[in-house]
Structure 1
Amino acid sequence: MGKQRAYGADATLKAVRETQYGGATIGPVRRLDFKTADLSASIPLGDDPLLGRGRNAQAPYRGLVTDEGQLEIPFDLQGTGWWMTALFGDPETTPQAATGLLSFAQIPVPGDTFTLNGVTWGFVAGVAAGNETEIGATLADTLTTLAADLNAATDPAIAAATYAVEDDTALGITHATPGPEGNAFTLAASTAVRSAPTLTGGGYRHVWRSGADTLPSFLLEIGHPKLTSPVFFRHPGAVLEELSFQMGQEGPANATVSVVAQGEETENSTLEANPTAFELRRFSQGRGRISRAGTPLAGVTAGSLTFSNGIERVRSIREDGRIDGADPTLATCEGSLTVRFDGETLVAEAASGDPVALVYGFSMAPGYALSFTLPQVHLPKPKYAITGPAGVEASFEWRAAADAAGVMLEVALLNDVETHGGT
């Protein structure tokens, strides 16, 4: 027996890509996570009174269809890739091999051991045999021999990676197979410092860039499947106009997307009863970062970023009152930074007008990450105020512009999804 009233806890959001704007769709149907939604069509009423019909109001006329709204979504490891494809178009995807380090502070002594992928390896003073490496005259010599021994090993657990000396003090380890499976390769050592308990960073790196000439469109469905009489609101011709998010100090990372759709249709059955779903693993504000030229900015207390595709609603004369298309125009990106004022952080750039490179990003184990890179950000000279004995803050309202290579905003997501093309 269904419910008499609709509840947000029961609501669903599903999407499928269109082959052409407002037209046929091509799978798969995706179930998407969301926090809030106000995407809905509206038709306003207008007045055009005729004279000589008395003082009482006459019947209004119906205006044009406007189907727009916002969705609040989580930044999560897999689902975020779907939203980035909707916002920018299909990404460039490159498999990444998992990597790690064993760093040595001194030359190993006989009997020292470490473990790679469950296999123990040791150091000896004399001729090495089996899973052993002969200690050399220097640490660099020892690591060179160690890398050669490991690369020549026939044990499948060891041969699953390649080995090289880095900076004469560390053993660099790279999994032989690009992709997420390398993240399961374990590291353990009593004589060295490991970079992490396992190799990290194995997966698929997806890169989106702003400024594409065309954007994909989707059929979105917001449904209430548990009502006694289920209701599903479908929105064909849905295009993402804007993405915005705040950077904070704690809590999960969320974003808001603005959607422009062609119109709304009401159905009593869903697009797909068993849609494909992403595994939910959310990025956290506690592992967020804002960097300048590759170095984390100190004293940042808050930040925001807003990107817009500048969607133009294409209207023509048609009997259903809907738009004909939603075309991207000028793409823009702006945001803010609030820092503890120290007389140095960003002050020189703001005063001189020189642009800076900024990165807003989040990370999670095992080396997965989401980043928004802005190669050319212009800062105004900020106004700051002293309001009491506590710390003084300065706020910068910045704007991004395209660099010499034509890049204004680049979004990169390293995750365990092989492709986000076609969503």
Structure 2
Amino acid sequence: MARAHGARAQIALAFETVYGTPPASGYRLMPFARTTLGAEQPLLNSELLGYGRDPLAPIKDAITADGEVVVPIDVEAFGFWLKAAFGAPTTTGTTPKTHTFQSGNWTLPSMAIEVAMPEVPRFAMYAGCVMDQLNWQMNRSGLLTATARLIAQGEAIAATMAAGTPTALGLQRFGHFNGVVKRNGTALGNVVSAEITYANGLDRIETIRNDGKIEGADPGMAALTGRIEVRFAERPRHPSHRRHALRARVRLQPRCERQLHLHSPCRLPAGPADRDPRAPGYPGQFRLAGGQSHQPRPHVHRRPRQHRHGILIMIRLNLSNRPEWLDLLPGLRVLVAPLTTALMVSARADPLIDDLSETSSQEDMALAMAKAVARRAVLEWEGVGDDDGNLVPVSPAGIDALLDIWPVFEAFQAQYVARGLMLDLEKNASAPLPTGPSAGATATARPAQAPAPTAPQD
């Protein structure tokens, strides 16, 4: 009994002139690592009653022929698989020649593929093979191969080879170190691995036939998907950004900065101490309730108006009132409007804030407030793109999606929203209550000059 050996297995390939009709000649031997090409015809159990407990013979169902072929990426043979995926290329030049494959062709060529196992012997001819997907991975080392997923019309098994004498191709394989990952013609740096998948989205045309085969496989919407793993490193700038980068080095970016210094509430002694700079209780010093005297920072008290009601306040105002850029992540920055009172009031009136219930968590309220502020503050951004790598304009939905990324939310909270929280705290120091135990008490009660007489009794 003969057994098949992988060392003698062969795959012969030829393009068909008529779909589903294998040509008589023109086959080429294709290098391959493994294949799962095969046909399946399920058996249906009989549903008839009245024939006893023993089941009736099953009924054959329609035929499904498909599978994958793992092939090396080389100089000659891989071009046949590219032609099957994209159609005939446009060839230019003489030596060397340049083959350009274009996606989106309305028709795709079909192939006849024969898988030969001479020892058995078994020769399986798969007619009407159309490329459904072509996938390959790139790494720093290892064997560079691609996986071709095919949809065939049917399978025909014979004891002799129908491909005749196939033409052998010279094997010149590529290695991972021969490749480079580019975007818009520019190499991407620090790429660890990459995976590319091109899909034709084939639609099986399943019609009523007397042989159980499909009528064809029509191409649907094409899709190019993949995955790229990169290392964090210096951000590669697009050539169009070079002019902006040079200009940024010589231009001073306006900054919107506010600093607030709050000190503990204090009670100043009354009397002439406020007028005598040599007496205890001079405005240059203050005494905390129940504590010792403190000497504040000299620059805070250069202006007497900054010492009011026992509270020391300093705010650096931004009089330019211009937008500024915030660097949220490496390669990601946003242009934000100044954080003004009008912006914060508008953000608090956002419908999403009103929809929050009293039982909402602090995290939900913080996220809703940050999104409301960002939708009003973010004017422009850099480093935000879609799945295809194209830059996207600023939009409310895009801002919400950006803040759903945790590192971006944290950076935006710390660099922008925190300023509003500090200004919100300022009103507790600048606007004390006129009565009651307040942090803004101007002084303690003056001592009585003499005991007050007792009120007369009736």
* TM-score clears 0.5: yes
Equivalent pairs: percent with the same residue?
35
Residues of 2 paired with 1:217 and 1:84: CA distance?
12
- The change in CA–CA distance for 1:85 and 1:27 in structure 2 (over 3 A counts) is farther
Which of 88, 99, 114 matches 1:221? 114
Residues of 1 paired with 2:387 and 2:45: CA distance?
53
Alignment check: 8 A CA contact 2:130 2:150 kept = yes
- 1:57 to partner: Cα distance: 3.1
Check if 1:61 corresponds to 2:59.
yes
Render the CA deviation track for 1:76-95: whole Å, top value 9, x for unaligned. Answer: 00111111111111111011
- 1:311 to partner: Cα distance: 0.8
Q: Which residue of 2 aligns with 1:331?
A: 222
Say which one has the larger Rg: 2
The SS at the match of 1:316 is coil
Residues of 2 paired with 1:64 and 1:347: CA distance?
54
Q: Which runs of 5 or more structure 2 residues have no equivalent in the other structure?
A: 237-329, 333-381, 391-400, 408-458
Residues of 2 paired with 1:340 and 1:384: CA distance?
20
Q: Which residue of 1 aligns with 2:102?
A: 209
Q: Which residue of 2 aligns with 1:16?
A: 14
- 1:325 to partner: Cα distance: 0.7
* Superposed counterparts of 1:39-78, under 5 Å: 39-78=37-76
Letter paired with 2:157: T
Q: Which runs of 5 or more structure 1 residues have no equivalent in the other structure?
A: 96-177, 180-202, 358-379, 386-423
- 1:295 to partner: Cα distance: 2.7
Q: Which residue of 2 aligns with 1:270?
A: 161
Render the CA deviation track for 1:327-360: whole Å, top value 9, x for unaligned. Answer: 1111111000111134846954763439548xxx
- 1:249 to partner: Cα distance: 0.6
Check if 1:249 corresponds to 2:140.
yes
Which of 353, 366, 386 matches 2:386? 353
- The change in CA–CA distance for 1:232 and 1:350 in structure 2 (over 3 A counts) is farther
Alignment check: 8 A CA contact 2:24 2:162 kept = no
Residues of 2 paired with 1:88 and 1:31: CA distance?
21
Residues of 2 paired with 1:355 and 1:260: CA distance?
28
Alignment check: 8 A CA contact 2:19 2:110 kept = yes
- 1:36 to partner: Cα distance: 0.4
Alignment check: 8 A CA contact 1:18 1:26 kept = no
- The change in CA–CA distance for 1:287 and 1:24 in structure 2 (over 3 A counts) is closer
Residues of 1 paired with 2:125 and 2:387: CA distance?
47
- The change in CA–CA distance for 1:320 and 1:354 in structure 2 (over 3 A counts) is closer
Letter paired with 1:271: A
TM-score, normalised to structure 1's length? 0.56
- 1:303 to partner: Cα distance: 0.9
Residues of 1 paired with 2:24 and 2:88: CA distance?
15
Check if 1:313 corresponds to 2:204.
yes
* Superposed counterparts of 1:77-226, under 5 Å: 77-95=75-93, 178-179=94-95, 203-225=96-118
The SS at the match of 2:101 is strand
The SS at the match of 1:76 is coil
Computed over aligned residues only, the root mean square deviation of the Cα atoms, in angstroms, reads 2.5
Residues of 2 paired with 1:63 and 1:324: CA distance?
16
Which of 20, 27, 31 matches 1:33? 31
Alignment check: 8 A CA contact 1:215 1:328 kept = yes
Residues of 1 paired with 2:48 and 2:88: CA distance?
53
The SS at the match of 1:28 is coil
- 1:52 to partner: Cα distance: 3.1
The SS at the match of 2:27 is strand
Residues of 2 paired with 1:261 and 1:305: CA distance?
23
Q: Which residue of 2 aligns with 1:261?
A: 152
Residues of 2 paired with 1:205 and 1:9: CA distance?
34
Letter paired with 1:353: D
Residues of 1 paired with 2:168 and 2:384: CA distance?
48
Alignment check: 8 A CA contact 1:309 1:328 kept = yes
